[in-house]
Chain A
Amino acid sequence: MPDKPDRNAIEVVNVSKIFGSGEGQVAALDTVSVSIRENEFFTLLGPSGCGKTTLLRLIAGFDFPSAGEILLYGQDIAPLPPFKRPVNTVFQSYALFPHMTVADNIGFGLEMLGKPKAEITARVAQMLKLVKMEALSARRTSQISGGQQQRVALARALAPQPKVLLLDEPLSALDYKLRKEMQIELKRLQHETGITFIFVTHDQEEALTMSDRIAVMSAGKILQVGSPRDIYDRPAERFVADFIGETNFLKGTVVSKKSGVATVKLASGATVAAGFPENFDPSGAVTVVVRPEHADLTADVSKGTVVGTLANVVYFGTDTHYHVKLDGGDNFIVRYQNSRSGAVTFEQGAKVGIVFEDDGARILKD
């Protein structure tokens, strides 16, 4: 939890970044504005090419915005070169200096800041302890494993006590188990150091498990900023719902609406009630989205919000996915977590009803 939720560490104000010129110019960022709070674990999430890394590079100072301001605690840092910004970066490739030892790598930033030798030594020791690498301090960086390099890269970026730590997909090179471990490790480090983390990833699961808040980006714009639960349960746009987690899409037409809930007539003739975001006024042809775990199956077809035939049952270990072919032609997936008793059983090919409430169904902007 942020200690001072009102204080912004970073404010990005109407920032654009245009690459190229003339015909071939591309807006990697298109008038983006976002505020990142002090002590927050903030994630920029989006598919590759959405501009998340560009935004990170602008904050780090490796690139300069074509327009707009980047404020660090109220001071515009956009024109400063990277070595004058009190922010540090953990690179995707780690970028450890191959001709230096682990300890020298970690001490490099402090040395460049002109700190006294004794202070550097003490701080390096503290950092080695923080990332549990004490035993390997004298090793060359080429003599340690990928996971260890990752820890050294983190320690190196944290050692100068930056006001903001930038992490550019730092876990993408690790294997699955190590990545899970480092996700928890990163959360711990953020908590212990109290430093604001800005984390860039294309992995929605990583974003959901680690972040205090997430900004979902697409095509150079930020589509939604919110807590993981906000983003997952109340996506603002169809892209967000589609990108994060699995979603069922149902096409239909709005027939009536009142106080945040609209009634939508689907292609099959069934009507469903669905909520919609505050700043959005649905009308005409719309898409209703339902998360697979927000719906239930019932053998009693008359109780179903929508009705279909169970086409496939896919077992995933922790849960089971029921693929239903709706009478209207759409596909719908219902997810159940597997319990020890394994209570839910439906036969493939059976007629089933799908039940969901208006708080589980949402109408979204396409």
Chain B
Amino acid sequence: MADPRNVDIKDQPGFRTIAIICVAVLYVPILILMIFSFNTGSLVTHWEGVGLTWYGTALLNEEFHNAAENTLIISVSATIVSTICATLAAIGMTRVKPWRGLPAAFMVINLPLMVPEIITAVATLSFFALIAGVFGLNFGIGNLILAHTVFCIPFAYMPIRARLEDMDLTLESAAADLYATPWHTFRRITLPLLIPGIMSGAALAFIVSFDDFTITQLVAGPGQTTLPLYIWNQIRRPMTPEINAISTILLLVSILFVSVSFLIARRRAK
């Protein structure tokens, strides 16, 4: 630490303290939430003993099942559709001759990241209300899938585009040189090399859709409760550790999903 040649940021005064505070602020609340999910008592704030009681209750809860089912239907559909759109958009914007509208197109795709979510939510709600009123159209859960797809696209787009930009274009030239038509070049060279980007794009889209609250809250119709909405509804009543158990399950699903996609991406990138 006293070595003057060492300019490693880890050795700077205060680094350790700041790091510990940051980690604590980030993770202590989550840790407490998880610990209380193992509470056998019926109060969130009062510890009575260790047990899996509330996990049992949660897993047998019909409403929880419905919410989980809705969430999965919406997230998986939105992930698939938005990842396909994002992939096409990324290819369309990196494998073309630069044209005048390119920066504008890039803006349009990424705008949803910058628009406050509540604005998008209100806009989406009014839009669906309008088409329901004027044309009598209501897609049911399709409304939610559509809404989620739209805001997932920029999240899926970013890693896919990054991967495409990193890719050596000579590889595609080499394929064309070896008699591969543009379609074969895409199928055999570009797409396989793009898979890690698509995977992380899809993972991001899934997570973003999975825990979306604001837009879902406004757009969801009756019987379209998703897990975040379900949790929100529960905490307006007297809270039991069942909520902690459900939250912990959600958290584990998210971590599992992100880890798996991260591992796949890393293995493919080698």
A-side contacts of B193, CB under 8 Å: 98-99
> A95: which of B171, B179, B188, B270 is its contact (CB, 8 Å)?
B171
A-side contacts of B178, CB under 8 Å: 83, 88, 108-109, 112, 156-157, 160
In the complex, the chain B residue whose C-beta lies closest to that of A113 is B179
B-side contacts of A98, CB under 8 Å: 171, 193
CA distance A142 to B174 in the complex (A): 17
> B174: which of A81, A84, A97 is its contact (CB, 8 Å)?
A97
Binary per-residue interface labels of chain B (160-178) against chain A in the complex, 1 for a CB within 8 Å, 0 otherwise: 0000000010110111111
Let me know if B173 and A62 touch, CB within 8 A: yes
CA distance A157 to B180 in the complex (A): 13
> B177: which of A89, A97, A142 is its contact (CB, 8 Å)?
A89
Let me know if B179 and A142 touch, CB within 8 A: no
Let me know if B171 and A97 touch, CB within 8 A: yes
> B176: which of A82, A97, A99, A160 is its contact (CB, 8 Å)?
A82
- Interface size in chain A (residues, C-beta < 8 A): 25
B189: Cβ under 8 A from any A Cβ: yes
Name the residue in A62, A82, A87 with the highest tally of chain B Cβ atoms < 10 Å from its Cβ.
Answer: A82
Output the least CB separation between A94 and chain B (Å). Answer: 9
The verdict on A93 contacting B192 (CB below 8 Å), with A83-B179, A109-B179, A112-B184 known, is no
B234: Cβ under 8 A from any A Cβ: no
CA distance A271 to B8 in the complex (A): 70
B-side contacts of A109, CB under 8 Å: 178-179
In the complex, the chain A residue whose C-beta lies closest to that of B170 is A95
A128: Cβ under 8 A from any B Cβ: no
Let me know if A108 and B171 touch, CB within 8 A: no
CA distance A125 to B113 in the complex (A): 53
The verdict on A81 contacting B176 (CB below 8 Å), with A93-B170, A112-B184 known, is yes
CA distance A101 to B231 in the complex (A): 50
Output the least CB separation between B8 and chain A (Å). Answer: 31
Output the least CB separation between B183 and chain A (Å). Answer: 10
CA distance A142 to B268 in the complex (A): 12
CA distance A82 to B176 in the complex (A): 6
Q: List 10 A-B contacts (CB under 8 A).
A: A60-B177, A83-B176, A83-B181, A84-B179, A89-B174, A98-B171, A99-B193, A108-B175, A112-B175, A113-B179
Query: 20 more A-B contacts (CB under 8 A) besides A157-B177, A160-B179?
Result: A62-B176, A82-B173, A82-B177, A83-B178, A83-B179, A83-B180, A83-B181, A87-B177, A91-B173, A93-B168, A93-B170, A95-B170, A95-B174, A96-B174, A97-B175, A98-B171, A108-B175, A109-B178, A112-B175, A142-B270
